[in-house]
Amino acid sequence: MDIIPAIDLIEGRCVRLTQGNYSSSRVYDSNPVDMAKRYADCGVRRLHIVDLDGAKAKAPCNLKVLEHVANAVDMDIEWGGGIKDETSLCMAIDAGATRVICGSVAVDNREQFKEWLSRYGSTRIILGADVRNGLVSTHGWLKDSGVTIDELIKGFLPAGLSQLICTDIERDGMLQGPNYPLYVRLQKDYPEVDVTLSGGISTIKDIETAHDMGLRAVIIGKAIYEGCITLKEIEQWLLNV
């Protein structure tokens, strides 16, 4: 199982939101490159970076940060936020993203997303589905789409979808544990898709539980910044699995 630390960006700085609320943003570290280096040093292979400014602006805003991170560490970087057209997609890839997360565009322009799956490959294009009250939210979690996550996944399976990051917005940043039944069900119902758990990871025990349940990847954000999970714990877990 992959452990994927998250770096959320506002104005080039590392922040965390609570339940997707921009007014709740808290700055934890002004240097994302330093954070990325710390993660690389403890053995993490994959990094999750979200451009929160880009999500609101509908276009990437922090690509220079992505460039600096990609040049500083040898990691698999997944990037999301503001990817609404092919120009933005290519800019993210050119700046150093090895995978690109597409959320709003996958809901608003499904044919475009299917074309990207075909053109760039399902190992590079990730479906980002952020869920609140059973429905997918878009545009930086500010808009409810009225589409269920199952409707979205089923629509893209014929196009080769193989990667999903699902965030339970109600658990995100709350440090109260993940919604395990949601992720276990999704992984069971769609075995051809690698489902990444996002939202609620608060202790190393949560990671162990996700692993024992057969989940394939987890994203950790606030728990690291708040010291609930230490980099030493992550390093030891990675060494022992």
- Which residue numbers are catalytic? 8, 130
β partners of residue 26: 16
Phi, psi for 126 (deg, rounded to 5)? -110, 135
DSSP letters for 199-220? S---SHHHHHHHHHTT--EEEE
Closest-CA residue to 186 (of 148, 241, 221, 141):
148
State how far the alpha carbon of 178 is from the alpha carbons of 3, 100, 104, in Å: 14, 24, 23
**What whole-number distance in Å separates Cα of residue 171 and Cα of residue 222?**
11
- How far apart CA 63 and CA 15 sit, in angstroms, is 16
Cα–Cα distance measured from residue 39 to residue 45, given in angstroms and rounded to the nearest whole number: 8
